Amino acid sequence: MRPITSRAPIVALLLIVSLVAAGCMSEAKKHLYKAEDLFEKKDYQAAREQLLQAIKLDPNLLDAHKALANIDEQFLHKDDEAAREYQIASALDPTDPKLLQKARYYRYLKEQEEQGDKALGEVKSGDLEQGMKDLRAALLATRTAATRAHVIQDVADAIPIIVAQGDKLAQQQKYVDAVKAYEQALRGYILIAEADKQQKLAPDADKVLRAIADAANKAGAPDMTSPVLQDVLSLDANNKVANLELAQVYLQHKPPDYETAAELMERAGAPQAEVTKLHEEAKRQEAKMRRR
């Protein structure tokens, strides 16, 4: 025959646990109500701190997660934190379509950041051209300032890696490959300027402009730089280095294009005597062509 054991200790223990849980919940709601008062006063940071306290006491307090997500998203612009809270809230209440929509939206933003990170990884692994293409695609797909800033930083991180690869190739006298690498770096500078709505490249780009021109000349193919130099000037028309280097390309045409070179040199702020000399050469060239 089984010994009869008293259920009283078990019942008492369950009662204690329930009371403790109820106490925590009660305290959690106090913080939630304080947060609501602070929100009405537009003290969003203080309201946020109260909500964090509420969640610490009761991790399943749905209203606290929803309120925290709203404050982080709409008022404090903490996108990562808002994303986390919407994910938690949608898991606590999977029947709320608005929460589910917000959770999906933030998952999409995270995917865009991950695409940028993946493209940066391609650059690091040596696939420069594909990496830059994918970085551009990721940047164009961004929908928020925070996500855009994340991908722009990926592009900025990629540029010195690409330049270092170009320098290494130039040292190995693989000049054609060096030109291709430097071109990708310059396209990175262009991408950042366009994303930031700037009409000027970062000053660091000047060094790369000189490097690509030097590598192209050593490769015996100065025209290789024309497309990217023209793209630079379509954005940053008064870029001194790009104008000077493109002028040198036109001077190496056969026959030399003195007039275009003169215009580029003038735009670059070259001494007037040099510009005048090129204009005179252009006139002599034209007269010679007429005599033929």
Q: Whole-angstrom Cα distance, residue 292 to residue 278?
A: 21
What is the model's pLDDT at position 285? 85
What is the model's pLDDT at position 160? 98
Q: Whole-angstrom Cα distance, residue 266 to residue 263?
A: 5
Q: Whole-angstrom Cα distance, residue 23 to residue 57?
A: 9
Please count the structural domains in the chain: 1
pLDDT in tens, the chain (292 residues): 344 444 545 544 444 444 344 444 589 999 999 999 999 999 999 999 999 999 999 999 999 999 999 999 999 989 889 989 999 999 999 999 999 999 999 898 888 899 999 999 999 999 999 999 999 999 998 888 888 999 999 999 999 999 999 999 999 999 999 999 999 999 999 999 999 999 999 999 999 999 999 999 999 999 999 999 999 999 999 999 999 999 999 999 999 999 999 999 999 999 999 999 999 998 988 888 777 6
Q: What is the CA radius of gyration of the chain?
A: 32
What is the model's pLDDT at position 292? 65
Q: Whole-angstrom Cα distance, residue 215 to residue 237?
A: 23
235 belongs to a structural domain: no
Structural domain that includes position 43:
28-95
- DSSP 8-state class, residue 219: T
Residue 234's CB is within 10 A of a number of other CB atoms, namely 9
What is the model's pLDDT at position 15? 42
Residue 286's CB is within 10 A of a number of other CB atoms, namely 11
What is the model's pLDDT at position 25? 56
The CATH number given to whatever domain includes residue 77 is 1.25.40.10
Q: Whole-angstrom Cα distance, residue 102 to residue 109?
A: 11
User: Do 132 and 123 touch, CB atoms closer than 8 A?
Assistant: yes
User: Do 83 and 73 touch, CB atoms closer than 8 A?
Assistant: no
Q: Whole-angstrom Cα distance, residue 64 to residue 81?
A: 13
What is the model's pLDDT at position 288? 80
44 belongs to a structural domain: yes
Q: Which stretches of the chain are DSSP H helices? A: 8-40, 44-57, 62-74, 79-92, 97-124, 128-140, 145-171, 175-195, 205-218, 226-235, 240-251, 258-267, 272-291
Residue 136's CB is within 10 A of a number of other CB atoms, namely 19
What Cα–Cα distance (Å) separates residue 135 from each residue in 140, 180, 231? 9, 17, 18
Closest CA to 229 of 198, 275, 189, 259: 189
62 belongs to a structural domain: yes
User: Do 69 and 86 touch, CB atoms closer than 8 A?
Assistant: yes
What is the model's pLDDT at position 159? 98
48 belongs to a structural domain: yes
pTM for the whole structure: 0.74
Side-chain-side CA neighbours of 68 within 13 Å: the count stands at 27
Q: Dihedral of the CA atoms 38, 41, 46, 47 (nearest 10)?
A: 40
In degrees rounded to 5, what are phi and psi of residue 55? -70, -35
Q: Whole-angstrom Cα distance, residue 257 to residue 279?
A: 10
263 belongs to a structural domain: no
User: Do 111 and 87 touch, CB atoms closer than 8 A?
Assistant: no
185 belongs to a structural domain: no
196 belongs to a structural domain: no
259 belongs to a structural domain: no
